[in-house]
Amino acid sequence: MRIVFFGSDEFAAVHLEALLAAGQQVAACVTGPDKPQGRGMKLTVPPIKQMALDRQIPCLQPASLKDKAVTEALKAYQADIFVVVAYGYLLTQEILDIPRFLCMNVHGSLLPKYRGAAPVNWAVLNGDNETGVSIQKMVLRLDAGDIIAQEKMTIGGDEDAGQLRGRMSRVGAGLLVKILKEHPQGDFPLIPQDQALVTYAPKLTKDMGRIDWKKTAASVNNQVRGLQPWPGAYTFYKGKMLKIIKLLVTAEAGGGFSPGQVIKTDKNGFYVACADKALLVKEVQPEAGRVMPAASFVAGYKVIQGSLLE
């Protein structure tokens, strides 16, 4: 099957790698423009472009898909399908109509649940125990197309959104290869989504990260896990921002302490009172510092019983 692959990040790269390993014919790749990154703002090549360069696959990097020249370039590849994975740009109807069979998208939820930009994060933020991968036929409305295939996944109790997304990339890639192998003539099953079950997963914002220790320990735990690796959850200690990277809900009671107060410290880190239980903070990142074990932060920043996280 002749494919044009649209994608941007490492999640997408896992899918492209699987397609190539399975012997699928990738005629071209489409990804975003090179972007400045890091402290030195060095111009960085997207992972999909790097893979395309390594394998001598033509690669387009349009800043907009509304340019007629882009549409004509895509038509020239005479693709059977377009595969879209974590691409970041909306396809126009004209582009959706180009491939011989259809455009398909790999989405990180069990649609119709969590349509939108951040389905993996919202599953963790909401404390879900289960999620999955959907492969859908793309339509102009966001994530509203018929379902081609789905696979369920459990969410680990201490798994953050970044870890889950990494695991999901492998599940999604396997499902994508399987569905293409089973339907080489493009006769994909198409199951309409139940509109009554639609929910949304909007973009994450930085202001979602501030921790309110007056919430339950489970809620704070979900917030920290769900906002990894970006934007991250944070609090303040002695007026300085402190990112909370990893923690654990404990059986420790916070009685006698206000929410946000440190109830004790030990070799594992420090324990913070919430509305009901305490959380063991295991890994942190001080303002302008690097990620470190919470026990090291305790020693270096003089955290003691009664210290307050604001």
Q: What's the angle, vertex CA 65, arms to CA 64 and CA 71, rounded to 5? A: 135
The yes-or-no verdict on residue 254 having pLDDT over 80 is no
Look up the CATH superfamily of 206-301: Formyl transferase, C-terminal domain (3.10.25.10)
Outline where DSSP puts E strands in the chain.
Answer: 2-7, 25-30, 35-37, 42-44, 59-60, 81-85, 102-107, 130-137, 147-154, 233-237, 240-253, 262-266, 269-273, 277-286, 292-293
Closest Cα partner for 189 from 149, 151, 141? 149
pLDDT score of 122: 98
Confidence grade of residue 38 (pLDDT, cut at 50, 70, 90): confident
Is 25:3 a contact under the CB 8 Å cutoff? yes
CB 287 within 8 A of CB 239: no
3-state SS assignment for residue 5: strand
pLDDT in tens, 162-220: 999 999 999 999 999 999 999 999 999 999 999 999 999 999 999 999 999 999 999 99
Considering the chain, tell me which residue range(s) the CATH 3.40.50.170 domain(s) occupy: 2-197
Residue 253 scores a pLDDT above 80: no
303-305-310 Cα angle (round to 5): 65
Pick the CATH number of 2-197 from 3.40.50.170, 3.30.56.10, 3.30.450.20, 2.60.40.420: 3.40.50.170
Mean pLDDT of the 105-125 span = 98
Residues 6 or more apart in contact with residue 261 via CB below 8 angstroms: 254, 272, 273, 306, 307, 308, 309
pLDDT digits 0-9 by tens, 62-73? 999 999 999 999
CB count within 10 Å of CB 112 equals 20
pLDDT for 251 beyond 90 = no
Q: How confident is the model at residue 139 (pLDDT cuts 50, 70, 90)?
A: very high
Q: Kindly state the average pLDDT of the residues 32-55.
A: 90
Domain(s) of CATH 3.10.25.10: residues in the chain = 206-301
Mean pLDDT on 98-114: 98
> What is the residue-averaged pLDDT of the chain?
96
